[in-house]
Amino acid sequence: MEIRRRSIAAVGVFVLLAAVVALGHWYETQRAQAQPLRATEKAVLVHVTNAGDRGPGTLREALFVVATATGPTSISIEVPKINLETPLPAFVNGHGVKLRGQASGGQASGVQIDAQALGAGPVLDISGPDTSIDGIVIRNCTGAAILVRAVRFRLSASTIDSCDVAVEVAENASDTLLERNHFIKDRLGVRFGAAGRNSAVANNEFTKNKDAGIWAVRGAPDSHDDVIGIHDNRFTDDGIGIVAGNISVLVERNDFINAREADVHLVGAGAVIRANRINGGASMGIVAENARGAIIDDNELEGLTAYGVMVRGSSNTLVRANRLHNCGYGIAFVLGDGRGVSTAVGNTIIEPKFNGIDVIGDSPILRRNQVLRAHAFPLHVEDFQAPNGKKVLSQPFLENNNFGNSPVGGSNATVAAQPNPH
């Protein structure tokens, strides 16, 4: 009986301890979910009611207030337009700042910030983490509209018009999200200095940007595996839609319309261009120039005056399952790097105005491509004669291509007609 009583007591103690542990766990969970501000961390809401450059109620005064706040802050701009005359202080609050305009969501809506009187510095300098901006319009800046040099920045439902660079993303920035914005008549819409971790450009409209909608270029390849996601955007009448050089980008499901020079221009390593639609313009569609390991996959290209895809001076570039119709020319391989042969596989080219596939001083692998109703040659192969007299031979490897009944053209047409293994 004594043993039994001891067993019952031990079980009771165990149950009591379990109840205490469960109660403690429940208390900590509720406490974590509530996450009240510490006594020293007070949330601050600042109202901008003065459209002037300085003084009480101005945006300048609001930025000074939030800079010294000990908790998360919000700025509500409640005037329709602000004309800046001198540079603003930076966003430096370490707990996060939300800047909101009166209206958001459209090109013509949102609080306007006119920066015409400023010098070359940024209009808004994002130096603190967790900053978000929504529903503003920035116009007429000679420098950058927004300079991002912190983590977790978000810009949404805003318009940046007629600036040198709309959004400048520095190398130390990461977790940058740009979504549902309009970038209009800037020299550059968005410029990345590196592939910041977890960064994305999504569902924006880029219109009539002089040099490029997105410029993601650095001198040497990134040393890490971060990739900028660029998806579901619309590029219209830009100089170049996207320029990517040695910064890893994944470009998917975008629409490109009437670019003046090229829709996508790739240089160096780290680019995947997939499932985009490219339409019209007196330009080339996708240019891979001195590119390494680029993937151009499952894109549709229509109505381009020049080449749909141009691969020049590149190595190990894969051009796969693209659909081209009614372009001036289809695909070109020019002066490729013999140490890393490029490949075109499974592409369909319909009714090119001139040649379907041009090979000039290169020896790519061409497999299972179809060229239908070419107005000139389905495949045109030429050796390249350098100014110093050196000849670069073209010896493409052909396998299971469909060129219809049209003849292969060019000075090396006889070689091209044979499957020449490398």
Strands 97-100 and 124-126: unpaired
Quote the CA–CA distance of 276 and 242 in Å, as a whole number.
Answer: 12
- One-character DSSP codes across 250-307: EEES-EEE--SSEEEEEEEE-EEEES-EEE--SSEEEEEEEEES-EEES-EEES-SSE
For residue 9, is pLDDT > 70?
A: no
The C-alpha angle 253, 256, 262, rounded to 5 degrees, equals 120
pLDDT tens, residue by residue, 338-397: 889 999 999 999 999 999 999 999 999 999 999 999 999 999 999 998 888 889 999 999
Positive or negative torsion for Cα 118, 88, 75, 202: positive
State the pLDDT confidence band at 411, using cuts at 50, 70 and 90: low
pLDDT at 390: 87
pLDDT at 315: 96
Is the distance from CB of 404 to CB of 379 less than 8 angstroms?
no
Which residue in the block uniquely carries the two structure tokens 């912190």? 150
For residue 101, is pLDDT > 70?
A: yes
Max distance between CA atoms of the chain, in angstroms, equals 109
Domain residue spans of the chain: 187-416
Quote the CA–CA distance of 28 and 35 in Å, as a whole number.
Answer: 10
pLDDT at 404: 80
For residue 10, is pLDDT > 50?
A: no
pLDDT at 110: 76
pLDDT at 105: 41
pLDDT tens, residue by residue, 155-210: 999 999 999 999 999 999 999 999 999 999 999 999 999 988 999 999 999 999 99
Whole-number Cα distances in Å, 102 to 49, 137, 146, 201, 310: 11, 11, 19, 24, 46
Residue 6 CB-density burial (10 A; 0-12 exposed, 13-18 middle, 19+ buried): exposed
- Residue 7: CA atoms inside 13 Å, Cβ hemisphere, count? 4
pLDDT at 407: 64
pLDDT, average across residues 284-298: 97
